[in-house]
Amino acid sequence: MKNITFENYKKYVGKKVEVDIYCYAAGIMYPEDNILIGMNPGTYYFYSQEDDHYWHWGVADDKGGKDWSIEVGFDGGAIPQIGEKIYVGSSYYLSRGRDDFEGGLASINSVEISDRLPEDHCNAIMIGIEERPGVMYNYKSLLKEQEAFKERFGDSIAHPEPDLDPDFNLHW
């Protein structure tokens, strides 16, 4: 098992990890099948695939302020990663048709992990896609829709589908 530290954690973000937590003060239950989603100097942030929630764990420091430690090991698997393909839905607008967008398979080009939201917040992980610059998607919500989107869109690539009819562009 490799130790993941603040100095090397970025290469493990989005990868499945095994977590061993030792708590000497109380029995701690921790989920299996974790994805490392981020770290700051004091805390590891995880997504638990087992019970579909986000969680975090403080890092024991040299000052002895904590009575537990953590060892995190890397075992493969990756989500979300830049360049990874993911299905997104369509968006159609009555008053700004020029922004209409046809869903399908898209390439992730940015990943934002919030360091202010609780780990189980729906917007804790947001992704951007190449096919729709400037728009961020809630990653957790997209994951739940992948099977339905795959059935609906198949191999179709997501793309802008502007409706330039003046009747559908009244406010812009």
- Which of 20, 45, 78 terminates a domain? The answer is 78
Domain assignment of residue 56, yes or no? yes
Into how many domains does the chain fold? 2
Radius of gyration of the chain (CA): 20
**What integer pLDDT is reported at residue 76 of this predicted model?**
31
Residue 4 included in any domain: no
With respect to residue 31, please indicate whether it lies within any of the assigned structural domains. yes
Res. 3: pLDDT tops 80: no
pLDDT by residue (tens digit) across 124-170? 788 999 999 999 999 888 888 999 999 999 999 999 998 888 877 77
Quote the domain boundaries for residue 70. 9-78
Q: How many Cβ atoms are within 10 Å of 43's Cβ, its own excluded? A: 15
70 and 94 in one domain? no
Examine the domain organization and report whether 39 and 90 are in the same domain: no
**Both 56 and 120 in a single domain?**
no
**Assigned domain for 134 exists:** yes
**Could you read off the pLDDT of 45-75 as tens digits, one per residue?**
777 776 666 777 766 555 444 444 445 443 3
- Pick the last residue of a domain from 43, 78, 113: 78
Would you say 106 and 137 are in contact if contact means Cβ atoms under 8 Å apart? no
- Across all residues in the chain, what is the average pLDDT? 75
- Let me know whether 144 and 89 are in one domain: yes
End position of a domain, from candidates 29, 44, 78: 78
94 and 148 together in one domain: yes
pLDDT surpassing 80 at residue 38: no
Stated pTM of the model: 0.55
Q: What does the alpha-carbon distance between residue 74 and residue 83 come to, in Å, rounded to a whole number?
A: 21
pLDDT higher than threshold 80 for residue 92: yes
| % of the chain residues with pLDDT over 90 | 26
Is residue 118 scored above 80 in pLDDT?
A: no
Residues 116 and 157 in one domain: yes
